[in-house]
C-alpha cells in the first residue's frame, strides 16, 4: 500500500492522539528503518528507547517466533516458564526480590503507586497515602501516573486529578524534604528525567533521598522505564549512584520491541500484595517474556554495557565538537550513557528534527530547544559519525 494511502486511512480511522512525522515505515534491521518507498533512515530514537538492540535482532526475533509457535497466551491463573525465567533474571540483576509483570511503563508505575499505598496502609496507617514526585517528571498517562507526572501540560483537560501527590524540585533535596508530612508514604522519581529533558540526578541528591526515606520509614521508588536495562551504561541507572530503591519500574527496552512492563520490590514491601490486590490479563505474556529473556541474555553476554560506555564517550566528544564548531547554534549537551540531549540556541528543535528526517536521520525533540538521542545500545562509531554529520548539516540550515 502506498504511503499516502496509509496516512489518509490513518487520518480517517485512528484517533488523532499523536503528532506523527510524515513517514511510513515497513521494515527495520539493526540501527536502520526502511520506509514504504524504500528509503533508509538511521534510527537514533529506537522507538523511544524500546528497540534497545536495534530492529529485528536475530536472538529476539528467533525467541519470538519459537514461542509464538508453541504458546501465545494463557491466563495468569496458571504458570508459564518464560515468565518465571524473566523474573528470576531480573531479581538476579537488581538484587530486589519479587517481580510483577504488566504491559507498559505506565502500568508498572501504576502498580508501584498501588503497592506503596497498600504497604503504607498495612504498616503506617491508612492516612499515609501521599507520594512526592518531581517537577518535570514523566510517569505515564493513566490517571494515577498522569497525576504523578509533574508537568501541567500533560494534565490539562483531565481534572480533577487523583489526590495524594505532591511535587518537589528535581535535584533539590530540601525541596523534597519540605513536601514531606504526616501523610507521606513514598518518594517516586526518575534517576534520569527523560521526557523532562534528559536531566540526570546529582549523586548527593539521590543519596540524601535514600537517607531521608530510611530515617522516616518512607519508600523510595525509581522509575527506570526509560533509563533502565543498559541505557546509561549500567543495568540500572541507580547503580551509578549506589542508591538502591525499595521499588523499581521497568518497561521500554525489556521486551526488545514487544510490550511488557515490570515492577520489582523488596520482599518486605512486595509481601503486602495478596492474590486479587493487583493483576493484569496480558501481563507476563509468554511471547513478550520470551523476547524479554532473549534481550536480557544478549545484554549480559555480548558486552553491551561496555559498548554503551565507549559509544557514550565517543558521542559526547562528537557533541562537544559540534558545540565548538557551531557556537551560535548549540548551547550545551547532557545525559548519561546513551541517553543524551543537545540544548540548542535555536528557537525550534522540532524544525531541526524535521530536517534530519528529510536527510535520513531519526531524532526526537523533547522541548522547543532540546533534541534527545536514544540510539541502540549496540550502536557503532560509524553510525554515530553518520548521525552527527547529518545533524551538523541540519543545524547549519537553521540560522
Architecture of domain 3-57+303-396: Alpha-Beta Complex (3.90)
> In this predicted structure, what is the pLDDT of residue 397?
85
User: pLDDT tens digits, residue range 339-381?
Assistant: 999 999 999 999 999 999 999 999 999 999 999 999 999 999 9
For the chain, where do the domains classified as CATH 3.40.640.10 start and end?
A: 71-301
Position 3 scores a pLDDT of: 83
71-301: what fold? 3.40.640
pLDDT over threshold 80, residue 399: no
What is the structure's pLDDT at 381? Answer: 98
What strands, in cross-sheet order, belong to the sheet with 339-344? 330-336, 339-344, 370-373, 364-367
pLDDT band at 398 (very low <50, low <70, confident <90, very high): confident
* pLDDT of 160: 95
The chain-wide mean pLDDT, for the chain, equals 97
Average pLDDT of the residues in 94-102: 98
- E strands present in 110-211: 130-134, 165-168, 184-189, 192-193, 199-200
**For the whole model, what pTM was predicted?**
0.97
Which candidate, 239, 130, 214, places its Cα nearest to that of 180?
130
Please write the tens of the pLDDT for every residue from 215-250.
999 999 999 999 999 999 999 999 999 999 999 999
Q: What is the pLDDT of residue 2?
A: 87
Q: Which residue has the cell 497515602?
A: 129
The whole-number pLDDT of residue 1 equals 78
Write out pLDDT tens, residues 141-198.
999 999 999 999 999 999 999 999 999 999 999 999 999 999 999 999 999 999 999 9
What's the mean pLDDT in 248-266? 98
Give the residue numbers annotated as catalytic, written as ranges. Answer: 138, 223, 252
What is the DSSP code (8-state) at residue 54?
Answer: B
Local confidence band at 260 (pLDDT 50, 70, 90 cut-offs): very high
Distance, CA of 341 to CA of 279 (rounded, Å): 36
Amino acid at each position: 500500500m502506498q504511503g499516502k494511502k496509509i496516512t489518509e486511512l490513518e487520518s480517517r480511522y485512528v484517533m488523532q492522539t499523536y503528532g506523527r512525522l510524515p513517514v511510513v515505515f515497513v521494515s527495520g534491521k539493526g540501527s536502520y528503518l526502511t520506509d514504504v518507498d524504500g528509503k533508509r533512515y538511521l534510527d537514533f530514537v529506537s522507538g523511544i528507547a524500546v528497540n534497545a538492540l536495534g530492529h529485528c535482532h536475530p536472538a529476539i526475533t528467533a525467541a519470538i517466533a519459537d514461542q509464538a509457535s508453541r504458546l501465545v497466551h494463557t491466563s495468569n491463573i496458571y504458570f508459564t516458564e518464560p515468565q518465571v525465567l524473566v523474573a528470576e533474571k531480573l531479581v538476579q540483576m537488581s538484587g530486589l526480590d519479587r517481580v510483577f509483570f504488566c504491559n507498559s511503563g505506565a502500568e508498572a508505575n501504576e502498580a508501584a503507586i498501588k503497592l506503596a499505598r497498600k504497604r503504607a496502609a498495612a504498616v503506617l496507617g491508612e492516612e499515609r497515602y501521599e507520594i512526592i514526585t518531581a517537577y518535570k517528571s514523566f510517569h505515564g498517562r493513566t490517571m494515577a501516573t498522569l497525576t504523578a507526572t509533574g508537568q501541567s501540560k500533560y494534565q490539562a483537560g483531565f481534572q480533577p486529578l487523583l489526590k495524594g501527590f505532591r511535587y518537589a524540585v528535581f535535584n533539590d533535596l530540601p525541596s523534597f524534604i519540605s513536601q514531606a508530612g504526616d501523610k507521606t508514604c513514598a518518594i517516586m522519581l526518575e534517576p534520569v528525567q527523560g521526557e523532562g529533558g534528559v536531566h540526570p540526578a546529582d549523586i548527593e541528591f539521590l543519596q540524601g533521598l535514600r537517607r531521608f526515606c530510611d530515617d522516616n520509614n518512607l519508600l523510595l521508588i525509581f522509575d527506570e522505564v526509560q533509563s533502565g536495562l543498559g541505557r546509561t551504561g549500567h543495568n540500572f541507572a541507580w547503580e551509578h549512584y549506589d542508591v538502591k530503591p525499595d521499588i523499581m519500574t521497568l518497561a521500554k527496552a525489556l521486551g526488545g520491541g514487544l510490550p511488557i512492563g515490570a515492577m520489582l520490590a523488596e520482599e518486605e514491601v512486595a509481601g503486602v500484595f495478596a492474590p486479587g490486590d493487583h493483576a493484569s490479563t496480558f501481563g507476563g505474556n509468554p511471547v513478550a517474556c520470551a523476547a524479554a529473556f532473549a534481550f536480557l541474555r544478549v545484554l549480559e553476554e555480548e558486552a553491551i554495557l561496555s559498548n554503551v560506555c565507549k559509544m557514550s564517550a565517543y558521542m559526547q566528544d562528537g557533541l562537544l565538537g559540534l558545540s565548538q564548531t557551531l557556537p551560535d547554534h548549540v548551547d550545551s549537551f547532557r545525559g548519561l550513557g546513551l541517553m543524551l540531549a543537545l540544548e540548542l540556541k535555536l528557537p525550534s528543535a522540532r524544525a531541526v528534527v524535521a530536517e534530519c528526517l528529510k536527510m535520513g536521520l531519526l531524532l526526537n525533540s523533547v522541548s522547543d530547544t532540546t533534541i534527545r538521542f536514544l540510539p541502540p545500545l549496540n550502536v557503532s562509531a560509524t553510525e554515530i559519525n553518520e548521525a552527527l554529520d547529518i545533524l551538523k548539516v541540519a543545524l547549519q540550515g537553521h540560522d
